[in-house]
Structure 1
């Protein structure tokens, strides 16, 4: 059994459920932070709207995972407001914040001036979400009052992909595996995220995870 106490915001979502599953299988004590009934394997449930979470709610946890996601155009600004709310609630606490990020903000050059989302081949339908998530990351970079790590998945983030048990840990720049692919399953991404939760190896950094 692990002595880590983890909370997962939006645990009922696809990414959140995969992270809960991976954490529980390792013996981590997991609390699902959800608005409705907990449908995951988490051992505990806190039914609370994200925007109502307080420092008192989050203080008991060593790690809080932000797996919040909305996709309707009119709801996209909630990516920024929800992340700000979590950071404000965690200010001054020892609790670490791990954020399930996006791939669109990965850089394409060493100068970090061009992002994947700004390339001609980037799907136009995905651009509004990628843009707001990029802006959220930039706001997160300004926070030194909460210990955060932002984890970008590969460009092809596969909800129904298999769990291979392997992944490649990369940095701020877009990358591919030896086959020239940038893809990862939710299950393998969850492995990388829970590894980071246990190791605390990349505070105040954005890292990326791709499948082998």
Structure 2
């Protein structure tokens, strides 16, 4: 307690008798400098926290247990943002997102990949991205403050899934063919899974692809 009082009052006591205050001030000053040297640097905080966050993000992608609690991870994000390293964290997250989405491509390019599989993968993808958004919520809110042009996590997730998966030529043509085939079956009186069809069409709406790729084919 004596030390803290001395540090807080250091500037006020400085003008008094040097004989009275000099030695004490010198000891406290050296201790304060020593304490500051022991604090982690901004780069250290970023590296340590980012490592934990990357590990947690990969665990979510792989549907594996996350070792840290949501509160701990949220604090890691806050620590990085407090160092004004929001964009560095965002850049590292974008790389992880891109890698994860690229790993989804082979599934969608498989011959015989059906609408039910598309709906299942889409549902899992959304759940995982929403969980990750909860972890990085503090950063997510800072992005638009820094630059309104930044894509927030959910919008980034949609963009990557749209551009790197669904609009791949083979995936898009097969998907549209299967959707239109289901619609044709229903018009002919056959029983179809309407909920499945709604889910896949809703996916196209969320991805902002309904008007651009589905409607033209549907209205032909």
TM-score, length of structure 2 as denominator length? 0.26
Question: Of Structure 1 and Structure 2, which has the larger fraction of its residues in helix?
Answer: 2
Structure exhibiting the larger radius of gyration computed from Cα positions: 2
